[in-house]
Structure 1
């Protein structure tokens, strides 16, 4: 029996996207998923130059759900379902790709003159095999609809799933837990064994778990069944994610995730051949299929 609550410590791969950095801890060579979470990116924090913004051109996804959660800034979402939604801090954009969807993400025109702020977490959730080819869908859940739980000098927002006796209204396609935890100086929050697989990530400030320091921008995968206390001496901002183990391995290539490699190959051919519909109000450009993508993970 070990006193170490950590099963794995996953260091980030950092990409400089010009004006801001992205720290990616999933997928990782040591671990592909934590519960359904198969992609975990921290964007920023950054203050972009006046007159600029982020412009992620239309691109496709299959067999996954994306979750966008901002700490600062705003992003306009457009997708091939005809959806338009502006996400702001504390709200949730859940886009379920299912059998296929395309979307774009851009800074709103209103924030570009002064230079937009950008800070947040973008994750992908692998869908259960039985739901991989479900109809695509989108839902926006405002900050005011997400439950908030108070700890000792701490406050946590339940982004997805059920934690600390509260449940988020955001759709879960499999057992999922996801929370945004703010610790004031001297604050503490219990981390209970609410899921078989869980991980902690310090997005800002500092924190420790049962006296063990958590390094920033690092994903700490917890041992199953461990209950511990998250604390901060000077203040910290921590994300908790996890859920039930996936029902088998997943393949990842670029923006495609699937339990079947042949399905990913089909999606690659469909995108090259123009068989994905583009967002109706953002269809003049798109991201071509890369020869060597930044995200590749095969079991």
Structure 2
């Protein structure tokens, strides 16, 4: 369910339009066999605080036997944080980590100079099917006091923090303060120089653009 600040402010409150710097409607992005709704980076905003990627899994409806299958893919220069409202997903990475992420838990993976991981629906959840709803990202003006009132049941996540110490270059899943480092990462993935994920034989090829 999408949400927004109630347009009728309390006495003395600012109007919602005065509090919101940017409204970002996530766009569908293919991760290789599965689409996510990506809010960051966008044409309106590259980062919010230290957050440079902001993806929502879904919306999607699964029939029995199907689920999310994000094949192994690489990252450099960032840390990924995965949080689920519903369902579960199995995380595997090139360090040999394998764990099931469930609602209420946080999975934090630091890529550093390079890591490869996959995210897939487990065996049991594929027996019931599942779905995810739409959302949007509101960027508020720094320093403002925010009051959110929903007219019906809603979920929302607040993220933020101090900005990075400088601009970052982004290409596919690679983030760096150096264009040369990103070019090296592209070539390393193209030439299969990254470590592999144990038990996985598939991978997402390097995009052509």
| Shorter-normalised TM range | 0.7 to 0.9
Question: What do residues 186-230 of structure 1 show as CA deviations (whole Å, max 9, x unaligned)?
Answer: xxxxxxxxxxxxxxxxxx6xxxxxxxxxxx732211111101211
On the 8 A contact 2:33/2:69 being kept in 1, the answer is no
TM-score by length of 1: 0.60
Residues 39-58 of structure 1: matches in 2 within 5 Å?
39-58=53-72
Report how far residue 281 of structure 1 moved. Answer: 2.3
1:24 to 38, 48, 57: 38
The aligned counterpart of 1:273 is 191
Q: Does 1:76 align with 2:84?
A: no
On the 8 A contact 2:77/2:113 being kept in 1, the answer is yes
Distance, in Å, in 1 between the alignment partners of 2:23 and 2:114 is: 33
Q: Does 1:252 align with 2:170?
A: yes
Report how far residue 232 of structure 1 moved. Answer: 1.3
Question: What do residues 22-77 of structure 1 show as CA deviations (whole Å, max 9, x unaligned)?
Answer: 32211011210000111111112433111112221111100001111111111111
The aligned counterpart of 2:144 is 226
CA gap of 1:231–1:28, structure 2 versus 1, over 3 A, is: same
The aligned counterpart of 1:94 is 108
Give structure 1 stretches of 5+ with no counterpart. Answer: 120-203, 205-215, 293-299
CA gap of 1:69–1:118, structure 2 versus 1, over 3 A, is: farther
CA gap of 1:21–1:256, structure 2 versus 1, over 3 A, is: closer
Residues 204-223 of structure 1: matches in 2 within 5 Å?
217-223=135-141
Question: What do residues 137-185 of structure 1 show as CA deviations (whole Å, max 9, x unaligned)?
Answer: xxxxxxxxxxxxxxxxxxxxxxxxxxxxxxxxxxxxxxxxxxxxxxxxx
On the 8 A contact 1:19/1:49 being kept in 2, the answer is no
Between 1 and 2, higher relative CO (CA 8 Å, sep ≥ 6) is seen in: 2
Give structure 2 stretches of 5+ with no counterpart. Answer: 1-13
Distance, in Å, in 2 between the alignment partners of 1:62 and 1:102 is: 9
On the 8 A contact 1:15/1:21 being kept in 2, the answer is yes
The aligned counterpart of 1:13 is 27
How many aligned residue pairs are there?
A: 194
Q: Does 1:287 align with 2:204?
A: yes
Report how far residue 15 of structure 1 moved. Answer: 4.3
Distance, in Å, in 2 between the alignment partners of 1:94 and 1:226 is: 29
On the 8 A contact 1:57/1:285 being kept in 2, the answer is yes
Superposition misfits of 4+ residues, deviation over 6 angstroms = 16-20
On the 8 A contact 2:34/2:68 being kept in 1, the answer is no
TM-score by length of 2: 0.85
